[in-house]
Amino acid sequence: MKKISVIVPCYNEEETVNLFYQEINKTINSLNNYKFELIFVNDGSSDNTYNIIKSLANEDKNVKYINFSKNFGKEAAMYAGLELSSGDLVTIMDADLQDPPSLLPQMIDYINNEGYDCVATKSTSRNGYSFLRKTFTRWFYKIIAKISKTQMVEGARDYRLMTRQMVDAIIKMKEYNRYSKGLFSFVGFNTKWIEFENQERVAGTTKWNFWKLFSYALDGIVGFSTAPLIISSIIGVIFCLISFIMIIFIIVKTLVFGDETSGWPSLTCIIFFVSGIQLFCLGIMGQYLSKTYLEVKHRPIYIIKDTNIKIKDE
């Protein structure tokens, strides 16, 4: 009998975990020719999430938990789940039921009967998210589409079903600054996209604020494109050319008309402008340098405090 692993990253989800458990069990019961393992990853919650997950695990042998030593972020939680999963098919779902388990039978069907390696989902709307978030998300996808070779699908969710082969390929990418939407796309394989109407959270609140999302977007850009570096070099070249022309212009002007000391306000403006550009470009370099810096340290992506999954020795 084939096994399906369901990975559920949880960060302060005490209000939703039980609701999720009930809902996923409806789907599990309808798919009685599969074995299931539910892997709840407690990402350093400060509420009661851990105890709820643990008591589920005591009652149901299919429930596994991974308890992090602190909050490492959703990316780390997904990675830990993928690494410790053992299913032939693996799926990732949010605990807040924004990723409907009821889609699972259809997704399994695509992989088993139509030869896909992965079924990914995207939501058709962003109802329930703030205007600011919607606007910036749209901008992000426009920019990344232009500057990255890795294709990112707008509205894509992390909810997807993958074959073991694809999961193993993703696990091999051990980078520290993880941007899964890019990584899933990078590994390739045959992916079927299905759409669904965006669901609102069943309970609790979103764990993302503007700055968290902003720096996540930067991870996406810096991780999957080096175009900003090229753009900053081009800006540098353009400004060199402009200053070169200006120098010649000033020399000629001084030789022909003599030197009169005027024009310092415009000079100040130019200095401000050019040093602004310089700092901006330096900032871009800094972004890449800082990501490289974090990468070369080879810090672990997550640290497990306790789990009921047997960890294979490396």
**Residues that bind ligand UDP in the complex, under the rule CB under 6 A:** 9-11, 13, 43, 71, 73-74, 77, 94-96, 98, 206-208
Q: Provide the minimum distance between the beta carbon of 181 and Mg ion in the complex, in angstroms, as a whole number.
A: 15
CA distances from 276 to 236, 237, 249, 256 (A): 12, 15, 23, 33
Q: Which of 45, 67, 98, 180 contacts Mg ion by CB under 5 A?
A: 98
Q: Provide the minimum distance between the beta carbon of 28 and ligand UDP in the complex, in angstroms, as a whole number.
A: 18
Identify the three-state secondary structure at position 176.
Answer: coil
How far is it, in rounded angstroms, from Cα 222 to Cα 152?
Answer: 14
The structure tokens listed for 220 are: 């996406």
- Partner from ligand UDP, Mg ion, none contacting 43, C-beta within 5 to 8 A by type: ligand UDP
Which CB atom, from 9 or from 228, has the smaller least distance to ligand UDP?
9
Beta strand extents in 191-283 (DSSP E only): 191-196
Q: In this structure, are residues 44 and 68 in contact, taking their beta carbons and an 8 Å threshold?
A: yes
- Partner from Mg ion, ligand UDP, none contacting 95, C-beta within 5 to 8 A by type: ligand UDP
- Partner from Mg ion, ligand UDP, none contacting 9, C-beta within 5 to 8 A by type: ligand UDP
- Partner from ligand UDP, Mg ion, none contacting 83, C-beta within 5 to 8 A by type: none
Q: In this structure, are residues 32 and 108 in contact, taking their beta carbons and an 8 Å threshold?
A: no
Which CB atom, from 8 or from 281, has the smaller least distance to Mg ion?
8
Instruction: Count other Cβ atoms within 10 Å, centred on residue 109.
Output: 12
Orientation of helix 17-30 relative to helix 104-114, angle to 10°: 40
Which CB atom, from 95 or from 156, has the smaller least distance to ligand UDP?
95
How far is it, in rounded angstroms, from Cα 23 to Cα 63?
Answer: 14
Q: Provide the minimum distance between the beta carbon of 238 and Mg ion in the complex, in angstroms, as a whole number.
A: 43
In a 13 Å sphere around the CA of 73, the CA atoms on its Cβ side amount to 15
Which CB atom, from 174 or from 212, has the smaller least distance to ligand UDP?
212
How far is it, in rounded angstroms, from Cα 274 to Cα 282?
Answer: 12
Would you say how long the chain is, in residues? 314
Which CB atom, from 203 or from 229, has the smaller least distance to Mg ion?
203
The structure tokens listed for 171 are: 């696990």
Task: Return the range that interacts with Mg ion (CB under 5 A); candidates 27-35, 98-106, 181-189, 212-220.
Answer: 98-106
Q: Provide the minimum distance between the beta carbon of 136 and ligand UDP in the complex, in angstroms, as a whole number.
A: 13
How far is it, in rounded angstroms, from Cα 178 to Cα 265?
Answer: 47
Q: Which of 15, 37, 96, 158 contacts Mg ion by CB under 5 A?
A: 96
Which CB atom, from 190 or from 206, has the smaller least distance to ligand UDP?
206
Q: Provide the minimum distance between the beta carbon of 274 and ligand UDP in the complex, in angstroms, as a whole number.
A: 40
Q: What secondary structure letter does DSSP report for 151?
A: -
Q: Provide the minimum distance between the beta carbon of 77 and Mg ion in the complex, in angstroms, as a whole number.
A: 13
Which residues sit at the interface with Mg ion, rule CB under 5 A? 94, 96, 98
